[in-house]
Structure 1
Amino acid sequence: MGKTANNGFILIVDDNPTNLSVLCEALNSEGFRFRVAVDGETAIAQAERNQPELILLDVQMPGIDGFETCRRLKANPVTQNIPIIFTTALADTESKTKGFSLGAVDYIPKPFAQEEVIARVRVHLQLKQLTESLEQQVSDRTKALQQAQVQLVQQEKLSTLGELIAGIGHEINNPINFISSNIPPLQEYISGVTKLLLLYEQEYPNPTAKITTAIKDLDLNFVLEDMVKILNSLEVGSERIQNLSNSLRNFSRSDSDTKISADLHQGLDSTLMILQHRLKANGERPGIEVIKNYGVLPEVNCYIGQMNQVFMNILANAIDALDEAIMLGKMSNLIPQIKIATEIDSEQLVIIRIADNGIGIPERLKKRLFEPLFTTKTVGKGTGLGLSIAYQIVVEKHKGVLEVNSQPGMGSEFIIKIPA
């Protein structure tokens, strides 16, 4: 294998058989792998096809010379990082300066001294390996730092969100309890007053002109009927607010570091309740139809507050995708839909599928969806953290899987799998 990296080699570019013989013998004596090219064009083609670890490049060659060969190699992203050592009999400062300005790392003068060739090659191979190792360390550290930042943001967002939602739920609960607890006695009072008025009408069938005019102006029969309807509406409205308050408390109740047994269907329904205002029709689009196909699921041991955050991020993204599809005029004949399906498979994995019939995701972007700070949304409309946080919660916190199936124009489906 020699002393170059696995499957790596040194490319020698020279048209002089004597020079080639000396260089090949020098490299061979130290066990270095090498290949040979006799002109610049061939060297460029070889380097593009299979990148060498290092290039020994003659300056004076037929066709394009070494300087032009170097310039083209450095202009190509595929070959620009390959170290180039010029081999030349030109010892003047101007030639050396030109070579270095084009990106060469060193010169080996002719006639060759084997020891010098080996020493310079060895130094630049080591430098290249050290540079690549440093770049990899920087990349690894950067990735680790990003993950740490995302975790901090996730914890802060969940904590802040939990406190905010719990506070809102508590604030809503007090006045709505007061309203809902007063509706039954108010219904009794109105029923009693209505009966009393009817009794007056029976006992005094011929009221004065003044009372007759007042009854007509008020439209008493309509008012008596409508009061009942208004009270029923108040009752329905207060029940809905109580459901929302319960959903808010359920959504935020386990923002802690302790896993609990939880009903994921309840978490999904709570999230949908919170997003209800975004699902309704607005001036730009019809209401979004939510189709549930819930299977029979056991309670799952999980961080339910964090799982609710996953549902929130994915469902909010689905709504955004449908809004965008309608804005772009790509859903003229379609009803915007979100489908939610749940099941438990033979491996005891709880599977939750959340699909929309929006614009879909291009293949080139799918691989990057879960990267921190990556967003497909316009400036000011996305942080690039939602799906990366969802990925960490599902994969790292719950040892599960988060996948996406999507084709442009065919909508997107996010699949969550966590152990039951």
Structure 2
Amino acid sequence: MSTHQTSLILIVDDNPNNTKVLFELLKESGYRVLVAKSGESALERLKSVCPDLVLLDVMMPGIDGFETCRRLKAAPTTQEIPVIFMTALADTVDKVKGLTLGAVDYITKPFQQEEVLARVNIHLKLYHLNRDLEKRVAQRTAALSNALTQLQQSQMLLVQSEKMSALGQLVAGIAHEINNPINFVHGNVTHLDRYIQDVLSLLQVYQQHYPHPVSAVQAEAESIDLDFLLSDLPKTLSSMKLGTGRILEIVQGLRNFSRLDEAELKVVDIHAGIESTLLILQHRLKAKPEHGGIQLIKEYGVLPEIECYPGQLNQVFMNLIANAIDALEESMLSCWLPRGNSQALDRATIWIRTEMLDQHHVCIRIADNGVGIKEEFKTKLFEPFFTTKPIGKGTGLGLPISYQIVVEKHGGQLECISELGQGTEFVITMPIRVALTL
């Protein structure tokens, strides 16, 4: 389409002869034309239409052209429309006044058709070029903004991925180094237990057949408190077996957590992932000189194994539980005590709850009774690099990455429920099979 076919011109003039001449000239030139006989009617008309150009007479009854222009330029919806004044006045002061009010040009009466068309054409071209330029600038700005957002997300993922990969390698290395010697010790404790049982059986046989040993043997038995040794030695060995068994469980937990580089979907026990994460964070739950420690309440439901990227899901658990610990430490250091909270206990507490939502989805809730989150911050929680923590304490990466892992990678949902003074709860909804939602 040409500019003529698409441009709409509004003529504002109380003189019917002027209006007729301009209407016929512009119509014959291919423009669409509207007419208003006063400033008031023009402003009313502009509430429902948006012309590309206004030809405005200066001298009119009611509000004159200058006041009409001023009001037109003051309204956000019409302030960009170019205005050309029509006047028989030759006074330079009046022309300057009109240009100051925002007009782009003047047409002098009586009209010269060639002059009218030339000025209308040039200002319409300038108007459409300006609008096209603004549109292109807006598109380019949007493209740059999108590119910046993608770059920030890429940087965010790279930083966190490198960080978690390094942590995973460290944990895996520690687990590997511990695993061999503890397996050796645990295996030998089992053998030692059997050997000791054999020795104790032999002693019992000696006591049955030689109830009254020679004085030297009797003295040595009393010296080492043989009766206590016989009763306590099995208990000591049992404790050692329990201890080495616990270390083996810890090593397995470390191995589970260190599966951060697993790129394939796997069917896993989600509780095992939570437990392995808690193992890493256990030291932060214990009492310290500055606070009394954090109570952990686990309320696990009966869940099936779910299909997921286990290392990435462990990363989500790590971020959310660590955030809860941070919030509670801040509360305890500021001597804040929860009030009016039905979940609030006498001490800082984290709840981890799991449940089946329906036959296709499970839910994991991680809640704390800390200070909560301000309303104005809640809408920004999942934005990259946004953090409420002091400089050096937070990167603003944990929650955005957690959101991306849960929502984009697994087709789940991640929601934050929080009120200031009422604690915070993060709710993870996960499909049992990723293919159900992706």
> Is this a same-fold pair by TM over 0.5?
yes
Partner of 1:7 in structure 2? none
Report the CA distance shift for 1:56/1:118 in structure 2 as closer, same or farther (over 3 A): closer
Q: Which amino acid aligns with 1:203?
A: P
Partner of 2:57 in structure 1? none
Structure-to-structure mapping, 1:401-416, within 5 angstroms: 401-416=413-428
Q: 2:124 aligns with which of 113, 118, 124?
A: 118
Question: Residue 264 in 1 paired to residue 270 in 2?
Answer: yes
Q: Which amino acid aligns with 1:419?
A: P
Q: 2:152 aligns with which of 146, 149, 154?
A: 146
Report the CA distance shift for 1:134/1:323 in structure 2 as closer, same or farther (over 3 A): same
Report the CA distance shift for 1:88/1:239 in structure 2 as closer, same or farther (over 3 A): farther
Q: 1:236 aligns with which of 225, 242, 260?
A: 242
Structure-to-structure mapping, 1:40-55, within 5 angstroms: 47=75, 54=80
Deviations 1:129-178 (Å, cap 9, x if unpaired)?
22222211111111222233334345434443333322221111112112
Partner of 1:63 in structure 2? none
Report the CA distance shift for 1:207/1:267 in structure 2 as closer, same or farther (over 3 A): closer
- Provide the rounded CA distance (Å) in 2 between the counterparts of 1:382 and 1:194: 62
1:402–1:417: 8 Å Cα contact kept in structure 2? Answer: yes
CA apart distance, 1:271: 1.2
Structure 1 window deviating more from structure 2 (118-127 vs 164-173): it is 118-127
Question: Residue 394 in 1 paired to residue 406 in 2?
Answer: yes
Task: Give 4+ residue runs of structure 1 displaced > 4 Å after superposition.
Answer: 17-21, 27-30, 39-44, 50-53, 55-58, 109-113, 185-202, 204-209, 218-233
| Bigger Rg, which one | 2
Report the CA distance shift for 1:89/1:305 in structure 2 as closer, same or farther (over 3 A): same
Partner of 1:334 in structure 2? 346
Q: Which consecutive residues of structure 2, in runs of 5 or more, have no partner in the other structure? A: 4-9, 13-35, 55-64, 85-92, 109-118, 339-344, 433-438
CA apart distance, 1:111: 5.3
Q: Which consecutive residues of structure 1, in runs of 5 or more, have no partner in the other structure? A: 4-9, 59-86
Q: Which amino acid aligns with 2:366?
A: I
Partner of 1:289 in structure 2? 295
Question: Residue 309 in 1 paired to residue 315 in 2?
Answer: yes
SS of residue in 2 equivalent to 1:408? coil
Question: Residue 32 in 1 paired to residue 42 in 2?
Answer: no
- Provide the rounded CA distance (Å) in 2 between the counterparts of 1:254 and 1:89: 74
1:267–1:308: 8 Å Cα contact kept in structure 2? Answer: yes
CA apart distance, 1:403: 0.9
CA apart distance, 1:370: 1.3
| Identical positions, percent | 42
Question: Residue 108 in 1 paired to residue 128 in 2?
Answer: no
Deviations 1:197-254 (Å, cap 9, x if unpaired)?
9979963557999x89x95xx9998888877766555443322221111101112236
- Provide the rounded CA distance (Å) in 2 between the counterparts of 1:186 and 1:29: 96
Partner of 2:141 in structure 1? 135
Q: How many residues align?
A: 360
Partner of 2:27 in structure 1? none
- Provide the rounded CA distance (Å) in 2 between the counterparts of 1:267 and 1:249: 10
Report the CA distance shift for 1:359/1:127 in structure 2 as closer, same or farther (over 3 A): same
What's the TM-score, normalizing by structure 2?
0.67
Q: 1:364 aligns with which of 371, 376, 383?
A: 376
- Provide the rounded CA distance (Å) in 1 between the counterparts of 2:299 and 2:71: 62
